[in-house]
Amino acid sequence: MFRNVAELVELAESQGKPISQIMIDAEMNFSERSRESIMEEMYRNLDVMEKAVQRGLTEDIRSHSGLTGGDAKRLQQYMKEKPFLSGKTLLNAVSMSVAVNEVNAAMGTIVATPTAGACGIVPGTLFAVSGKLNPTREEMVNYLFAAGAIGYCIANNAFISGAAGGCQAEVGSATAMAAAAIVEMAGGTPKESAQAVAIALKNMLGLVCDPVAGLVEVPCVKRNAMGAAIATVAADMAMAGIKSVIPADEVILAMYRIGCSMPNTLKETAQGGLADTKTGRAIEAKIFGVPVNQHD
């Protein structure tokens, strides 16, 4: 079993296996289940993710609060009608990430990767990159195991929830997970996956969790979008041979320390940050019928 990213990479290299297979082996050992059973469960997760992506891109999704919905479709329409500046794969990753997060905000079915608030980044990047690399269904499942391996490392050495460590722990973790998985699917090495983790996560350090009106919508949906973009770029950087001066495990430790020193007002309490702006408080009052700036 591995405890951190360094040990994960060492196992992968010594056994000549990709990160995804190390994770599958670890899950078999931990759960005492067969490979077939574990793979079958992940195939089901993949199906749920795919349906969420398609719903967000094709249906008129709207959250109950009315704060979010329709942006995934809006971005796809923009790509069809105008000479967009970013690359197609990148914008697909962004729009598909938003699609899943909008489905979550509308109380639809998603897979928490690693949380519901950050549920768009891993599937969004997966299906966007798949459109370019044309992987088999099994390779898509392996993508999820590779992402899961990084999530396991982060969860066991820091935290993955906004309430515990701010949005850096939630969207940041998902971004790092996706970056590593993209590298593996694109044929990169375990070491390059680790570099992608470090590059992605260190660009999310200090990100606060400040949901407007306490709802996982604003700014959560758009942070998923930017997380998908960062993951995609981090993967490209790592495969280009660019290395993070600070190793992945030290970045994870830094994230943990930052989260520990972060005030509670910036940890999913809706007491600070964007939630405490004039517009944020007005939205809260409109939705819940409470006077602006009056809280228990």
Quote the number of domains for the chain. Answer: 1
For the stretch 42-93, pLDDT in tens is 999 999 999 999 999 999 999 999 999 999 999 999 999 999 999 999 999 9
Low-confidence ranges of the chain (pLDDT < 70): 291-296
Range of the domain at 46: 5-288
Q: What pLDDT is attached to residue 293?
A: 56
Q: Is 295 part of any domain?
A: no
Q: Is 182 part of any domain?
A: yes
Q: Is 294 part of any domain?
A: no
Q: Is 136 part of any domain?
A: yes
Q: What pLDDT is attached to residue 296?
A: 46
Residue 159: CATH number of its domain: 1.10.4100
The per-residue DSSP string of the chain comes to --SSHHHHHHHHHHHT--HHHHHHHHHHHHH---HHHHHHHHHHHHHHHHHHHHHHHHS----TTSSS-SHHHHHHHHHHHS--SS-HHHHHHHHHHHHHHHHHHTT-----SS-STTTTHHHHHHHHHHHHH---HHHHHHHHHHHHHHHHHHHHHS---HHHH-HHHHHHHHHHHHHHHHHHHTT--HHHHHHHHHHHHHTTTT--B--GGG-S-TTHHHHHHHHHHHHHHHHHHHHTT---SS-HHHHHHHHHHHHHHS-GGGBSSSSSGGGGSHHHHHHHHHHH---TT---
Q: Is 296 part of any domain?
A: no
Q: Is 112 part of any domain?
A: yes
Q: Is 26 part of any domain?
A: yes
Q: Is 187 part of any domain?
A: yes
